[in-house]
């Protein structure tokens, strides 16, 4: 078990990155807007071409089929997109446990995407991603549109999955208190460098 490792990974706007994220650990990432956090997550999820090496549990990304890589390295963009009109058409089978943990009723699967609130969209997008049971989670501001109660639900759900399934988590958050709650260590993007964030 090695988790996710990056070696000389060159994400746009950032100096080459060497990083190792062990299974079951959560790493918080912060930095000013436009500093390259989203581009880093996209590059790890193999959505943008990017030189350098990424491995998951020892196997290099380029040795795995892309579809398999993206299922195992699950990326949650800050804004969710839906390609069908009905919520339930994005799920198979319906993840009732996940919905419950996120405070959503099973009936929401019959709702129309266009009528969802931004908070519902965000939680449903998370459920949609978690249904794939990824080995690594790349979360881009997963609680940005949520109220306090739902923020706690998401944090509890992710924390539980991290512990029971040894899922590695990379969590981008603007909230310093949240970073300390969910992660065991933090990295901060400063002048194009990923530096350890000092938590006193």
Partner 1 sequence: MELIRLTPQDLTVAASLVLLTAALSWRLRLGVEGRLVWAAARSIVQLLLLGVVLKTLFAQANPLLIGLLALFMLAVAGYEVMARQQRRFGGAWGIGIGTLSMFVSSFSLTLLATRLVIGIEPWYTPQYLIPLLGMLLGNTMSGVALALNNLTENAVRQRGEIEARLILGHGWECAIEEIRRTALRTGLIPIINAMAAAGVVSLPGMMTGQILAGSPPLDAAMYQIMIMLLIAVGTSLGAIVAVWIASRRLFDERQRLRLDRLD
Question: What are the residues binding partner 1 (CB under 8 A)?
Answer: 45-49, 62, 66-68, 70-71, 74-75, 77, 79-83, 128-129, 132
CA distance 73 to 175: 24
- Give the residue with the Cβ less far from partner 1, 92 or 164: 92
Cβ closer to partner 1: 46 or 197?
A: 46
DSSP bridge partners of 54 = 6
How many Å separate Cα 154 from the centre of its chain? 12
Under 8 Å between Cβ of 23 and 181: no
Residue 148 beta carbon to partner 1: minimum distance, rounded to whole angstroms? 27
For residues 151 and 142, give the distance between their C-alpha atoms in angstroms, rounded to a whole number.
9
Output the smallest distance, CB 42 to partner 1, in A: 9
Question: Dihedral of CA 16/159/150/181: which sign?
Answer: negative
**Nearest distance in Å: CB 186, partner 1:** 25
Could you tell me the CA-to-CA distances from 50 to 10, 16, 63, 122 in Å, in that order?
6, 11, 15, 28
Q: Which is nearer to partner 1, 25 or 90 (CB)?
A: 90
Please say which residue, 70 or 181, places its beta carbon nearer to partner 1. 70
Question: Which lies closer to partner 1 via its Cβ, residue 62 or residue 147?
Answer: 62
Angstrom CA distances, 114 to 21, 84, 127, 138, 147, stand at 37, 10, 18, 25, 20
Closest approach, Cβ 43 to partner 1, in A, equals 10
* Shorter beta-carbon distance to partner 1: residue 37 or 128: 128
Q: Is 89 left (phi over 0), alpha (psi -120 to 50) or beta?
A: alpha
CB of 140 to partner 1, least distance (A): 11
Provide the minimum distance between the beta carbon of 9 and partner 1 in the complex, in angstroms, as a whole number: 15
């Amino acid at each position: 078990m090695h988790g996710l490792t990056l070696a000389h990974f060159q994400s746009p706007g950032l100096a080459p990155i060497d990083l190792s994220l062990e299974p079951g650990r959560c790493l918080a990432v912060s930095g000013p807007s436009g500093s390259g956090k989203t581009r880093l997550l996209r590059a790890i999820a193999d959505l943008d071409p990017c030189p350098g090496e990424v491995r998951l549990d020892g196997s290099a990304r380029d040795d795995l089929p892309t579809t398999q890589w993206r299922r195992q390295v699950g990326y949650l963009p800050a804004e969710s997109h839906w390609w069908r009109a009905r919520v339930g058409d994005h799920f198979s089978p319906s993840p009732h446990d996940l919905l419950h943990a996120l405070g959503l009723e099973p009936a929401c699967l019959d709702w129309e995407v266009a009528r969802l609130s931004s908070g519902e969209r965000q939680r449903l997008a998370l459920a949609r991603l978690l249904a794939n049971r990824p080995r690594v989670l790349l979360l881009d501001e997963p609680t940005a549109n949520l109220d306090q109660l739902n923020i706690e639900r998401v944090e509890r759900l992710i924390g539980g999955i991290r512990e029971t399934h040894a899922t590695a988590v990379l969590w981008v958050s603007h909230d310093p208190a949240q970073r300390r709650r969910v992660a065991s260590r933090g990295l901060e993007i400063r002048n194009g460098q990923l530096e350890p964030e000092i938590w006193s």
